């Protein structure tokens, strides 16, 4: 199947508060757009006024990705860009976009309406796939996030492993795993 | 062995990257003002309900870890850097009683245990040693040539901040149901209260007959408290991730007036931070 050429734009092109490289962000974005078969333009807006690290996406004719600058930052060197962090965090959000675009996720709530456990489950599913795409991801980081949202239990840990190693889940399957982890929690 | 060790010479391996307070304060970014500030949560306190709670807690845990290293180094230096009093010069300001050295040695022992606990908690939370920049302000407060200044800067300001941080993290672990975090923070908190109490007691005792020296030390503590508010990261405002632990501070020997003053200083630091960021954003438009 031929994938149409899709443009990726980055705003701002030049940064004032952080030393980020918009060309690098665009290049990484284009790489994901091609590998995830995203079929429409992507605009990445970096909010450089905050050091927080939230990322979000809205899907329309153009995919609008909003990134707080902490998401692309080198935590060792404040205000400098980390290519690794840019890769991981752009990958996380574009995998979620890809899930929504490619079926099985039609009934997924909007990001703002999603519960913290649902988001943690989806993030785990994304992080596991990024690992298999070759990125070095700290698994314990995502396990801790999952436990914070589902409980520090053996049931939650088992659900985490299921999500981490999965490749073709639907939203319904993912949501069921998350719900069961919380409902059937047995303290370890 | 060398005395009065400068901050630039602290021993760190290649995993660590150090920044100073000037570099940290030069960052104009903040979550509290700017074009998108209104879209963010109204409460900035570090609780599990924050969407970024895990990441923020991991970052703070790394800050605790490097803070414990610097507290260990500071207490160890104070134990070693000063001689015992000379009976011919009882008003000397560069000597310390033997019992004070013993307290500093005990504190160094406590801090080394805290470093080990913090490393394990960091691993548990998914952090890596050196993952975040190390701000060296804590050790810098421990470099004064006057031991009383060190008591004010390290035991009362630094360890006082530790009380606030550990209380925040303990509550975080309690609400999240983290079985290790709450337990470990509670135990370390008990040590920190003792360290602050030691500082408060020694500060009063050593300056008993020298009100001017005590006044200078308390002024120094106020300056350090402002710096340790990290531009408003610690205050009683909901805008600050870390709260002010009044009850534990009282247990540690702070009077209500002293805690009120720290609250005011912290709030002023928060407002100054907001004003700095707003001005930086306005000038960039």
8 Å CB contact of A152 and B123: no
The SS3 call for residue B242 is strand
8 Å CB contact of A116 and B17: no
**Whole-number pLDDT of residue A81:** 97
Work out the minimum CA distance from A55 to partner chain B, whole angstroms: 10
A188 — pLDDT class (breaks 50, 70, 90): very low
Backbone phi, then psi, for B109, in 5-degree steps?
-65, -45
Chain segment A13-67, per-residue pLDDT in tens: 999 999 999 999 999 999 999 999 999 999 999 999 888 899 999 999 999 999 9
Q: Answer whether B116's CB lies under 8 Å from B124's CB.
A: no
How many domains is chain B partitioned into structurally? 1
- Counting one residue from chain A and one from chain B, the pairs whose CB atoms sit within 8 A come to 94
Max avg pLDDT among A48-52, A94-98, B212-216: A94-98
Residue A100, both tokens: 């929504």
Q: Is the pLDDT at B218 greater than 80, yes or no?
A: yes
B280 — pLDDT class (breaks 50, 70, 90): confident
Which of B51, B133, B176 minimises the CB distance to A76?
B133
8 Å CB contact of B31 and A147: no
Residues 166-185 of chain B with CB under 8 A from chain A are: 176-179
DSSP B165-204: HHHHHHHHHHHHT-TTHHHHHHHHHHHHHHHHHHHHHHHH
Helical (H) or strand (E) element with B139: helix B137-140
H helical segments located in chain B: 21-25, 53-81, 98-125, 137-140, 147-150, 159-176, 181-206, 211-228, 246-251, 256-284
Which chain A residue's Cα is nearest to B281? A49
User: What are the chain B neighbours of A20 within 8 Å (beta carbons)?
Assistant: none
User: What are the chain A neighbours of B53 within 8 Å (beta carbons)?
Assistant: 148
Name the β-bridge partners of A10. Answer: A44
Average pLDDT, chain A: 93
Residue A151 CB partners (closer than 8 Å, separation 6+)? A181, A182, A185, A187, B177
Q: Is the pLDDT at A88 greater than 90, yes or no?
A: yes
- For chain A, say whether B40 makes contact (Cβ under 8 Å): yes
User: What are the chain A neighbours of B174 within 8 Å (beta carbons)?
Assistant: none
- ipTM, two decimals: 0.91
Q: Is the pLDDT at B4 greater than 90, yes or no?
A: no
Which of B58, B133, B281 minimises the CB distance to A78?
B133
Which of B124, B128, B280 minimises the CB distance to A138?
B128
User: What are the chain A neighbours of B48 within 8 Å (beta carbons)?
Assistant: 148
8 Å CB contact of A144 and B125: yes
Q: Answer whether A41's CB lies under 8 Å from A57's CB.
A: no
Name the β-bridge partners of A57. Answer: A65
Average pLDDT, chain B: 88
Q: How many CB atoms lie within 10 A of CB A77?
A: 14
Helix, strand, coil shares, percent, chain A, to 5 = 50, 15, 35
The A55-59 sheet, strands edge to edge: A8-11, A42-47, A63-68, A55-59
**Whole-number pLDDT of residue B5:** 84
Q: How confident is the model over A114-131, as a mean pLDDT? A: 97
Which of B30, B37, B132 minimises the CB distance to A75?
B132
Residues comprising chain A, all counted: 188
User: What are the chain A neighbours of B23 within 8 Å (beta carbons)?
Assistant: 78
List residues in chain A touching B: CB distance below 8 A.
16-18, 47-54, 69, 75-79, 116, 119, 138-145, 147-148, 151-152
Q: Is the pLDDT at A185 greater than 60, yes or no?
A: no
Residue B136 CB partners (closer than 8 Å, separation 6+)? B7, B10, B18, B19, B20, B21, B70
Rg (CA), chain B: 19
- For chain A, say whether B131 makes contact (Cβ under 8 Å): yes
8 Å CB contact of B36 and A47: yes
**Whole-number pLDDT of residue B89:** 73
Residue A87, both tokens: 């890769």
- Domain with B249 in it: 15-22+45-284
Q: Is the peptide bond before B116 cis (omega within 30 degrees of 0)?
A: no
8 Å CB contact of A50 and B176: no
8 Å CB contact of B128 and A142: no
Q: Tell me the pTM.
A: 0.90
* Orientation of helix B159-176 relative to helix B181-206, angle to 10°: 160
Which of A52, A75, A144 minimises the CB distance to B133?
A75
Cα–Cα distance, B132 to A75 (Å, whole number): 5
User: What are the chain B neighbours of A157 within 8 Å (beta carbons)?
Assistant: none
8 Å CB contact of A17 and B284: yes
H helical segments located in A54-104: 83-101
Name the β-bridge partners of A64. Answer: A43, A58
Lowest mean pLDDT of B71-85, B135-149, B234-248, B271-285, name the range: B271-285
**Which class for A175: exposed (0-12), middle (13-18), buried (19 or more C-beta within 10 A)?**
buried
**Whole-number pLDDT of residue B228:** 75
Q: How many CB atoms lie within 10 A of CB B113?
A: 15
Chain segment B191-201, per-residue pLDDT in tens: 999 999 999 89
Backbone phi, then psi, for A62, in 5-degree steps?
-115, 145
Chain segment B105-114, per-residue pLDDT in tens: 999 999 999 9
Name the β-bridge partners of A58. Answer: A64
Cα–Cα distance, A186 to A165 (Å, whole number): 22
Q: Answer whether B75's CB lies under 8 Å from B154's CB.
A: yes
The SS3 call for residue B158 is helix
Determine, yes or no, domain membership for B6.
Answer: no
- When scoring B19, B26, B29 by the number of chain A Cβ atoms within 10 A, the one with the most, hence best to mutate, is B29
User: What are the chain B neighbours of A51 within 8 Å (beta carbons)?
Assistant: 27, 29-31
CATH number of the domain where residue B203 is located: 1.20.1260
Map tokens 């414990």 to a residue.
B68
Cα–Cα distance, B213 to B207 (Å, whole number): 6
**Whole-number pLDDT of residue A184:** 59
Q: Is the pLDDT at B135 greater than 50, yes or no?
A: yes
Determine, yes or no, domain membership for B53.
Answer: yes
8 Å CB contact of A52 and B52: yes
Q: Is the pLDDT at B33 greater than 80, yes or no?
A: no
Q: Answer whether A150's CB lies under 8 Å from A178's CB.
A: yes
């Amino acid at each position: 199947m031929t994938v149409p050429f899709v443009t990726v734009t980055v705003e701002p092109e030049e940064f004032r508060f952080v030393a980020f490289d918009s060309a690098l962000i665009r290049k990484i974005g284009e790489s994901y757009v091609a590998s995830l078969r995203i079929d429409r333009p992507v605009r990445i807006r970096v909010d450089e006024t905050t050091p927080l690290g939230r990322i979000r996406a809205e899907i329309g004719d153009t995919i609008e990705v909003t990134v707080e600058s902490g998401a692309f930052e080198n935590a060792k060197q404040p205000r400098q860009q980390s290519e690794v962090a840019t890769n991981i965090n752009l990958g996380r959000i574009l995998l979620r976009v890809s899930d929504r675009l490619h079926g099985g996720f039609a009934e997924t709530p909007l990001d703002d309406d999603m519960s913290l456990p649902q988001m943690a489950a989806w993030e785990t599913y994304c992080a596991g796939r990024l690992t298999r795409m070759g990125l070095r991801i700290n698994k314990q980081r995502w396990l801790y996030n999952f436990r914070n949202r589902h409980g520090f239990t053996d049931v939650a840990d088992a659900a985490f492993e299921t999500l981490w190693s999965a490749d073709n889940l639907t939203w319904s399957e993912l949501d069921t795993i998350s719900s069961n982890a919380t409902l059937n929690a047995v303290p370890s | 062995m060398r005395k009065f060790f400068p901050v630039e010479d602290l021993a760190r391996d290649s995993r660590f990257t150090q920044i100073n307070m000037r570099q940290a304060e030069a960052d104009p970014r903040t979550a509290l003002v700017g074009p998108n500030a209104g879209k963010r949560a109204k409460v900035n306190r570090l609780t599990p309900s924050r969407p970024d709670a895990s990441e923020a807690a991991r970052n703070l845990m790394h800050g605790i870890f490097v803070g414990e290293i610097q507290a260990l180094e500071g207490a160890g230096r104070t134990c070693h850097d000063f001689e015992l009093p000379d009976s011919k010069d009882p008003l000397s300001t560069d000597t310390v009683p033997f019992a004070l050295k013993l307290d500093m040695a005990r504190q160094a022992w406590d801090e080394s245990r805290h470093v080990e606990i913090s490393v394990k908690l960091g691993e548990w939370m998914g952090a890596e040693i050196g993952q975040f920049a190390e701000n060296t302000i804590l050790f810098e407060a421990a470099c004064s040539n006057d031991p009383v200044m060190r008591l004010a800067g390290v035991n009362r300001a630094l360890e006082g901040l530790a009380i606030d941080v550990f209380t925040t993290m303990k509550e975080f672990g309690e609400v999240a149901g983290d079985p290790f975090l709450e337990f470990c923070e509670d135990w370390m908190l008990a040590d920190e209260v003792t360290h602050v109490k030691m500082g408060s007691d020694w500060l009063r005792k050593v300056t008993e007959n020298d009100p001017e020296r005590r006044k200078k030390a308390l002024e120094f503590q106020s300056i350090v408290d402002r710096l340790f508010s990290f531009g408003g990261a610690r205050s009683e405002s909901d805008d600050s991730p870390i709260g002010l632990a009044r009850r534990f501070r009282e247990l540690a020997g702070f009077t209500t007036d002293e805690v009120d003053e720290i609250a005011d200083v912290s709030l002023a630091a928060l407002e100054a931070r907001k004003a700095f960021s707003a001005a930086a954003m306005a000038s960039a438009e």
